[in-house]
């Protein structure tokens, strides 16, 4: 190809505009990319010349040069300049920046950061770590030592006590900073990072691969996760020669630029793991649905598919994705504390808090009043002013129950479940906060309180919301890092495996689950112990 065929790319000039549009320019081959890359390095104030050909100026600025993808990220002033790029014979295609929805957990929430508060990570190892048999694989994989995992997400709290020792480096690809601000303003990226490689501590908290290293590529902002940022993040992962890229993000589609980037990552030998999606449908989202990616669905602690986990023929494997406790930006996690007092005897009970309820950062104690299911008629004749309403779950929405309690003068509510276990509910959908404290306790405890109150014995409840550095989230986003962590263990055991080989090992060693008539579980739940053993045998 003659050099004048890519004259437009060679003439990209520095241009500053508040209205510039970010576009991805994929070159046809490495030769044309290198020419454009050289032009970027020596760009000046006038049109560049190549040999005897004088370039035609394009009013745009090269923001990033992605050497592993033969791709440029360009800020173009208008559609006319984008058309010039599209018509250049050296360009394979041009795509505008588009955004996938920002990744959020299905259930789980964070509060405003509170400093200088006790950290409460919990007294035991998160259930998912045990479910994937990570501890059984640690001896043969050195807990993932030597493996490096790139997390493409919302950022990370690099100073978190459970992340700091294993954090290696980070970059921001959103375009919102000069690349140096990869802090996590959402909590999603920090949560995923802790599941992958959280440091094993004395309280029992750990990630799947507690000796692996974490790299964070911030590709998601409040606007979502853009194709330009994702491509740049993957390019960085190839440059860094990471072992695995973990992507707890995606949507119903993917762009050519994203697909090309992931294909090049696979060609470079990297393993890419992505979430199947949280819409509960029989269609795997992208990029998880791409053939070289390990698509991950979610199961609960009973090893049953969660109601939100997407499935389909592309689903490779499943992992824990419900009530997953992991790291969040310091002081943003919330731990519920409920203590009951009956006849002078005190007892702490298991509990959760509700999103949209008033936070009780200093413990408050009040008497409980049985208010049935929280219907407006259940409050008739009940003196709940300045007290807590004891309410059963069921029949009407949580928000309606609490509004009825507020109207009756209650200062808080304790809701007991109508099924075993606990859930995290939401009282508002717009981010607002109601003026009362609301906690949930287990069904059996609630029934006992109800019986005690009916006998005429007073029951008091002491409620508190403790600010912590950890939180429980639900989502295929939470399942994905379990698999990424297992990949880290596998690669620590055998560095010579490429992405396709890792995928085959994970699927062939997974523990089958069912019924699986529509591939709801893929090959089954990932099994770290068996996968590491297979990786060692493949040496």
- Domains recognised in the chain with CATH numbers: 3-96 (3.30.70), 128-328+473-537 (3.40.50.200), 333-468 (3.50.30.30)
C-alpha to C-alpha distance for 538 and 305, rounded to whole angstroms: 31
- Contacts for 138 with CB less than 8 Å, ≥ 6 apart: 210, 489
Could you tell me where the DSSP H helices lie in 315-433?
398-407
Token pair listed for 108: 């789980």
Number of H helices, E strands in the chain: 13, 26
Say what the pLDDT of residue 52 is. Answer: 30
Q: How high does pLDDT run on average in the chain?
A: 89
Whether the pLDDT of residue 243 is over 60: the answer is yes
Whether the pLDDT of residue 117 is over 70: the answer is no
Mean pLDDT of 467-486: 95
Whether the pLDDT of residue 123 is over 60: the answer is no
118 versus 297: the higher-pLDDT residue is 297
C-alpha to C-alpha distance for 235 and 240, rounded to whole angstroms: 9
Q: What is the pLDDT of residues 377-405, one digit of tens each?
A: 999 999 999 999 999 999 999 999 999 99
What is the end-to-end Cα distance of the chain in Å, rounded?
Answer: 44
Question: Parallel, antiparallel, or unpaired: how do β-strands 293-299 and 315-320 relate?
Answer: parallel
* pLDDT confidence bin for 109, thresholds 50/70/90: low
Q: Answer whether the bond into residue 287 is a cis peptide, omega within 30°.
A: yes
Whether the pLDDT of residue 239 is over 90: the answer is yes
Q: What is the pLDDT of residues 260-273, one digit of tens each?
A: 999 999 999 999 99
On the 0-12 / 13-18 / 19+ scale of CB atoms within 10 A, 52 is exposed
* pLDDT confidence bin for 60, thresholds 50/70/90: low
Residue bearing tokens 């002078």: 344
Least confident of 7-11, 209-213, 320-324, 437-441: 7-11
Provide the whole-model pTM. 0.88
Say what the pLDDT of residue 514 is. Answer: 93
Say what the pLDDT of residue 384 is. Answer: 97
DSSP structure class, residue 268 = T
Say what the pLDDT of residue 21 is. Answer: 86
* Among 319, 359, 273, CA closest to 474: 319
Say what the pLDDT of residue 37 is. Answer: 67
C-alpha to C-alpha distance for 535 and 539, rounded to whole angstroms: 7
Q: What is the pLDDT of residues 129-162, one digit of tens each?
A: 999 999 999 999 999 999 999 999 999 999 999 9
Whether the pLDDT of residue 47 is over 80: the answer is no
Mean pLDDT of 445-459: 97
Whether the pLDDT of residue 238 is over 70: the answer is yes
């Amino acid at each position: 190809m003659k050099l004048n065929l890519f004259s437009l790319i060679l003439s990209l000039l520095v241009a500053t505009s508040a209205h510039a549009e970010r576009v991805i320019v994929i070159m046809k081959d490495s030769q044309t990319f290198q020419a454009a890359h050289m032009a970027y390095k020596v760009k000046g104030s006038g049109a560049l010349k190549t040999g005897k050909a004088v370039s035609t100026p394009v009013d745009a600025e090269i923001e990033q040069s992605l050497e592993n993808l033969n791709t440029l990220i360009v800020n173009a002033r208008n559609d006319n300049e984008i058309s010039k790029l599209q018509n250049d014979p050296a360009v394979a295609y041009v795509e505008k920046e588009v955004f996938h929805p920002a990744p959020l957990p299905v259930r789980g929430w964070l509060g405003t950061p509170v400093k200088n508060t006790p950290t409460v990570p919990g007294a035991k190892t998160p259930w998912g770590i045990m479910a994937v048999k990570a501890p059984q694989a640690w001896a043969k994989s050195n807990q993932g030592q030597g493996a490096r995992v790139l997390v493409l997400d919302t950022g990370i709290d690099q100073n978190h006590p459970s992340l700091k020792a294993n954090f290696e480096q980070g970059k921001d690809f959103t375009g919102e900073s000069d690349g140096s601000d990869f802090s996590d303003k959402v909590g999603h990226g920090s949560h995923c990072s802790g599941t992958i490689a959280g440091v094993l501590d004395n309280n029992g908290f750990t990630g799947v691969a507690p000796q692996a290293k974490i790299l964070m590529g911030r590709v998601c902002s409040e606007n979502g996760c853009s194709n330009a940022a994702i491509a740049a993040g993957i390019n960085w992962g190839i440059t860094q020669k990471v072992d695995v890229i973990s992507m707890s993000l995606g949507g119903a589609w993917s762009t050519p630029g994203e697909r090309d980037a992931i294909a090049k990552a696979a060609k470079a030998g990297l393993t890419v793991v992505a979430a199947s999606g949280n819409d509960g449908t029989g269609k795997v989202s992208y990029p998880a649905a791409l053939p070289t990616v390990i698509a991950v669905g979610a199961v609960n602690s009973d090893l049953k598919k969660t109601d939100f986990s997407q499935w389909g023929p592309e689903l490779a494997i499943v992992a824990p994705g419900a009530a997953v406790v992991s790291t969040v930006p310091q002081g943003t996690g919330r731990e519920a504390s409920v203590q009951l007092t009956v006849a002078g005897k005190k007892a702490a009970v298991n509990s959760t808090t509700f999103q949209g309820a008033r936070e009780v950062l200093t413990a408050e104690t009040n008497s409980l009043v049985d208010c049935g299911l929280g219907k407006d008629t259940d409050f008739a004749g009940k003196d709940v002013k300045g007290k807590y309403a004891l309410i059963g779950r069921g029949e009407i929405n949580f928000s309606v129950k609490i509004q009825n309690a507020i109207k009756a003068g209650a200062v808080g509510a304790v809701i007991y479940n109508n099924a075993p276990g606990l859930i995290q509910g939401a009282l508002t959908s717009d981010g607002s906060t109601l003026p009362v404290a609301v906690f949930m306790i287990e069904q059996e405890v609630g029934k006992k309180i109800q019986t005690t109150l009916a006998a005429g014995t007073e029951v008091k409840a002491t409620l508190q919301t403790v600010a912590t550095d950890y939180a429980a989230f639900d989502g295929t986003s939470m399942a994905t890092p379990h698999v990424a962590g297992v990949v880290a263990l596998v690669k620590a055991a055998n560095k010579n495996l490429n992405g396709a080989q890792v995928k085959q090992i994970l699927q062939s060693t997974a523990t089958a689950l069912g019924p699986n008539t529509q591939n709801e579980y893929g090959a089954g739940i990932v099994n770290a112990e068996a996968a590491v053993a297979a990786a060692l045998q493949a040496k």
